[in-house]
Amino acid sequence: MSKIPHRIYLTEDQMPKQWYNLRADMKELPDPMINPGTGKPATEEDLYPVFCKELAHQEMDNETRYVDIPEEIQEFYKMYRPSPLIRAYNLEKALGTPAKIYYKFEGNNTSGSHKLNSAVAQAYYAKEQGLKSLTTETGAGQWGTALSEACSFFGIPLTVYMVKVSFNQKPFRKAIIETFDAKVIASPSNTTNSGRKILEVDPNSGGSLGCAISEAVETAVTTPECRYVLGSVLNQVLLHQSIIGLESKIAMESINEYPDIVIGCAGGGSNLGGLIAPFMQDKLTGKANPRIVAVEPASCPSLTRGKYAYDFCDTGKITPMAKMYTLGCEFMPSANHAGGLRYHGMSPILSKLFHDGYMEAVSVEQTKVFEAAVFFAKHETILPAPESAHAIRTAIDEALKCKETGEEKTILFGLTGTGYFDMTAYNAYLDGSMSDYVPTDADLQKGFDALPKIPGIQE
User: By the criterion CB under 8 A, which residues form the site for a copy of itself?
Assistant: 5-7, 9, 11-12, 75, 78-80, 89-90, 108-110, 112, 116, 149, 152-153, 171-172, 175-176, 178-181, 374, 377-383, 418, 420-421, 423-424, 426-427, 430
Of the two residues 328 and 384, which places its CB atom closer to a copy of itself in the complex?
384
- Min CB(410)–a copy of itself separation in Å: 20
Of the two residues 62 and 367, which places its CB atom closer to a copy of itself in the complex?
367
Of the two residues 40 and 93, which places its CB atom closer to a copy of itself in the complex?
93
- Min CB(88)–a copy of itself separation in Å: 9
Cis bond before residue 348 (omega within 30° of 0): no
Instruction: Say which amino acid occupies 354.
Output: F
First to last CA, the chain: 62
Distance CA 266, CA 342 (A): 10
- Min CB(411)–a copy of itself separation in Å: 18
- Min CB(440)–a copy of itself separation in Å: 32
Distance CA 29, CA 95 (A): 40
Phi, psi dihedral angles at 203 (to 5 degrees): -60, -20
**Could you tell me where the beta strands, DSSP code E, fall in 167-229?**
183-187, 226-228
Task: Please answer whether residues 411 and 99 qualify as being in contact, where contact means their C-beta atoms are separated by less than 8 angstroms.
Answer: yes
- Min CB(107)–a copy of itself separation in Å: 9
- Min CB(428)–a copy of itself separation in Å: 10
Of the two residues 148 and 271, which places its CB atom closer to a copy of itself in the complex?
148
Of the two residues 76 and 279, which places its CB atom closer to a copy of itself in the complex?
76
Of the two residues 133 and 315, which places its CB atom closer to a copy of itself in the complex?
133
Eight-class DSSP state of 335: P
- Min CB(416)–a copy of itself separation in Å: 15
Task: Please answer whether residues 388 and 414 qualify as being in contact, where contact means their C-beta atoms are separated by less than 8 angstroms.
Answer: yes
- Min CB(374)–a copy of itself separation in Å: 6
Distance CA 14, CA 130 (A): 32
Residue 281 parent element (H or E):
helix 270-284
For the chain, count helices (H), then strands (E).
Answer: 18, 17
**Could you tell me where the beta strands, DSSP code E, fall in 38-108?**
40-41, 66-68, 85-87, 100-105
3-state secondary structure of 295: strand
Of the two residues 196 and 378, which places its CB atom closer to a copy of itself in the complex?
378
3-state secondary structure of 94: helix
Of the two residues 152 and 191, which places its CB atom closer to a copy of itself in the complex?
152
- Min CB(9)–a copy of itself separation in Å: 5
Of the two residues 94 and 438, which places its CB atom closer to a copy of itself in the complex?
94
Of the two residues 5 and 445, which places its CB atom closer to a copy of itself in the complex?
5
Residue 448 parent element (H or E):
helix 441-449
Instruction: Say which amino acid occupies 357.
Output: G
* Nearest C-alpha neighbor of 49 from the set 62, 37, 32, 61: 37
Sign of the CA dihedral with 42 first, then 68, 114, and 242 last: positive
- Min CB(418)–a copy of itself separation in Å: 7
Number of residues written out for the chain: 459
